[in-house]
Chains A and B, each alone.
Chain A
Amino acid sequence: MEVLTDNAGLFWRGFVGTVQLMCLSTLLAFALGMLLVSFRISPVPLCRGLGATVVTVLCNTPLTVLFFGVTLGLPMLGLTGAGYFTLAVLVMGGYASAFVCEALRSGVNTVETGQAEAARSLGMSTAQTAALIVFPQAGRAAVPPLGNAVITLVKNSALAGGFSVYELFSTEKTLVERGYAVAVVFLWVAAAYVVLIAVISAGFRLLERRLAVPR
């Protein structure tokens, strides 16, 4: 317990860093994910191919490799100026966007073709069909996989600590270097993540229940 109380400042700094990373990257991931999914379900073959390629490459690249490329590679191209925090948000948001895209797409796939056909036979335009019929149902079905994507993002945010961003992994490293018992430090840091993730998954479960429609 002293480990926590003596270093409350460090833990708080790490926790705030993780939460900040999480919020900003989640926003970016959702924005990019929606763009990607609009490409993936587009009727234009080139857009579909492009979206599929980006998603496949991102899903099959280790995040560490992306971090390595952005933090060490970009300066080699003369692209300096962005701080480590900004770079971390870009990397994590970009990486998670592939998973958000797949979550949204799985949601769209759960909507039966008949729904869109019915909408069209009522004379709705493509935009109306999408906005009024397909997306409301798809969004509902996409809530659980989106929750998983956000949880994965939080866990991945620990990697930013290895690339000069201060968050909970950095707290762990600092305290271990200062000679505190590893097991105790580990348990406190782990507890912080467990709490964070419990809150997020509870939030998504609540959202899922609120949006559920008995069929």
Chain B
Amino acid sequence: MRSTLFEAPGPRARRRHVWYTVLVAAVTGGALCWALLRFKDAGQFDARMWEAFEYRGVQLRILTGMVDTVKAFVLAVVLSLLLGFLFAAGRLSTHGLLRRPAGALVEFFRAVPVIITVFALYATDLLRTAVTAAAGFLRENLGSPGEWAATNFASPTLWALVVGISLYNGAAQAEILRAGVGAVPKGQFEAGYALGMRKTQVMTAVVMPQAVRTMLPSIISQMVVTLKDTSLGFFIMYEELLYAGKLLAQNTATPHGYPYLPVLCVVGSLYIITCLLLSWAARRLTALEWRGLDGRGLPRVSSKMPMGSR
């Protein structure tokens, strides 16, 4: 490991490190033991606390919660990327009339906590009527696929959550994309213009592909934030994983009270595993970048390559 602070340890330092290891292991082990004893004394390892998870109905509820979380996540990712491109295009525009409002919107939604937006959307009648109207339209005009879409997606809480998350994450994605565009060497723009391309063509055909590629790790990291934000559905009673877990715990009575902690163990690890998978993908992509390859194994144009006048 490259270390800024420490040089390779000598014999005395190595002995001292052994002592540190023992000390830290003892303190951590002690804390863990204390916590486990606490769990045991409070009856949290009681079989009745955990047997709920053996029932098919309960497993199905957790699965439904997971599906609802993924549903909100996928919709929010799509919408936030769309908004991200829109906001970024606005902020990068050469027209002040477009650039300034876009900049103000981005800064606004980046500063306001997601839950404040989500709750406001949840409380407005506008969203509710819009969703009901859309559901009616789907049911009447599109036959059975419309019926399917209406049953699965026409929930005002789902859309309050999705739109609220997307406004914030869209603003964040826009800033990432803007940074990516800023990192594209000026020569790339100039080469595009020299070939007779228009502003839009240069952006869509030359600059954006490179910006997205360099920023892919950051874009995916932002998706981890999006995934974590779906748990805000808890506050507006959207039945995602966490809320489903809470309901589940409150419907299970044991002699030691509601099984909040067992539910937390299950639900929490599901969240952590999903987020870790996404984080891992982001790290993998960063590693690929470092090796100078893009996802398809093509040599990447280095931004340090001499590009004429810069």
The yes or no verdict on A and B being binding partners is yes
A interface with B by C-beta (< 8 Å): 41-47, 50, 56-57, 59-65, 68-69, 72-73, 76-79, 108-109, 111-113, 115-117, 120, 126, 129-130, 134, 151, 154-159, 161-162, 168-169, 172-173, 176, 182-183, 185-186, 189-190, 193-194, 197-198
Say whether, besides A68-B264, A108-B4, A186-B120, A158 and B271 are in contact (CB < 8 Å). no
Partner of B264, one of A59, A73, A116, A129: A73
Say whether, besides A68-B246, A78-B41, A108-B5, A158 and B116 are in contact (CB < 8 Å). yes
Which residues of A sit under 8 angstroms from B258, Cβ to Cβ? 72, 76
CB proximity to A under 8 Å, residues B117-140: 117, 119-120, 123-124
Find out whether the CB atom of B113 lies under 8 angstroms from the CB atom of A50: no
Q: CA separation between A76 and B39, bound complex, in Å?
A: 9
How near does chain B come to A186, taking the closest CB pair, in angstroms?
4
Partner of A173, one of B117, B119, B268: B119
Find out whether the CB atom of A186 lies under 8 angstroms from the CB atom of B116: yes
**Of the 9-residue stretches B21-29, B93-101, B150-158, B200-208, which lies at the interface with chain A?**
B21-29
Q: What are 12 A-to-B residue pairs whose CB atoms are below 8 Å?
A: A41-B3, A47-B21, A50-B28, A57-B272, A64-B232, A65-B267, A77-B42, A111-B4, A158-B115, A169-B113, A182-B120, A194-B107
Find out whether the CB atom of A73 lies under 8 angstroms from the CB atom of B261: yes
Find out whether the CB atom of A60 lies under 8 angstroms from the CB atom of B279: yes
How near does chain B come to A25, taking the closest CB pair, in angstroms?
14
Find out whether the CB atom of B7 lies under 8 angstroms from the CB atom of A46: no
Find out whether the CB atom of B116 lies under 8 angstroms from the CB atom of A62: no
Find out whether the CB atom of B115 lies under 8 angstroms from the CB atom of A162: yes
Find out whether the CB atom of B42 lies under 8 angstroms from the CB atom of A78: yes
Partner of A155, one of B21, B38, B113, B124: B113
Q: Which residue of B lies closest to A151 (CB)?
A: B111
Q: CA separation between A39 and B203, bound complex, in Å?
A: 45
Which residues of A sit under 8 angstroms from B256, Cβ to Cβ? 76
Find out whether the CB atom of B123 lies under 8 angstroms from the CB atom of A43: no
Partner of B272, one of A61, A68, A113, A168: A61
Say whether, besides A113-B4, A134-B4, A69 and B264 are in contact (CB < 8 Å). yes
Find out whether the CB atom of B39 lies under 8 angstroms from the CB atom of A77: yes
How near does chain A come to B131, taking the closest CB pair, in angstroms?
16
Partner of A185, one of B120, B264, B271: B120
Which residues of B sit under 8 angstroms from A183, Cβ to Cβ? 120, 124
Q: CA separation between A157 and B123, bound complex, in Å?
A: 21
* Interface: B17 (CB within 8 A): yes
Q: Which residue of B lies closest to A119 (CB)?
A: B5
Find out whether the CB atom of B24 lies under 8 angstroms from the CB atom of A44: yes
* Interface: B285 (CB within 8 A): no
Find out whether the CB atom of B272 lies under 8 angstroms from the CB atom of A60: yes
Which residues of A sit under 8 angstroms from B228, Cβ to Cβ? 60-63
Which residues of B sit under 8 angstroms from A155, Cβ to Cβ? 111-114
Find out whether the CB atom of A156 lies under 8 angstroms from the CB atom of B120: no
How near does chain B come to A109, taking the closest CB pair, in angstroms?
7
How near does chain A come to B241, taking the closest CB pair, in angstroms?
9
Partner of B5, one of A41, A50, A168, A190: A41
Which residues of B sit under 8 angstroms from A115, Cβ to Cβ? 4
Q: CA separation between A186 and B38, bound complex, in Å?
A: 43
Q: CA separation between A109 and B1, bound complex, in Å?
A: 12
Say whether, besides A44-B24, A65-B267, A76 and B112 are in contact (CB < 8 Å). no
Partner of B108, one of A73, A176, A190: A190
Q: CA separation between A63 and B258, bound complex, in Å?
A: 21
Find out whether the CB atom of A46 lies under 8 angstroms from the CB atom of B261: no
Q: CA separation between A168 and B20, bound complex, in Å?
A: 45
Find out whether the CB atom of B279 lies under 8 angstroms from the CB atom of A77: no
Say whether, besides A182-B120, A182-B124, A62 and B231 are in contact (CB < 8 Å). yes
Q: Which residue of B lies closest to A109 (CB)?
A: B4
* Interface: B229 (CB within 8 A): yes
* Interface: B260 (CB within 8 A): yes
Find out whether the CB atom of A189 lies under 8 angstroms from the CB atom of B264: no
Partner of A43, one of B3, B108, B114: B3
Which residues of B sit under 8 angstroms from A117, Cβ to Cβ? 7
Which residues of B sit under 8 angstroms from A169, Cβ to Cβ? 113, 115-116, 119
Find out whether the CB atom of A64 lies under 8 angstroms from the CB atom of B257: no
Q: CA separation between A113 and B1, bound complex, in Å?
A: 12
How near does chain A come to B124, taking the closest CB pair, in angstroms?
5
Partner of B276, one of A42, A56, A151, A186: A56
Q: CA separation between A194 and B17, bound complex, in Å?
A: 47
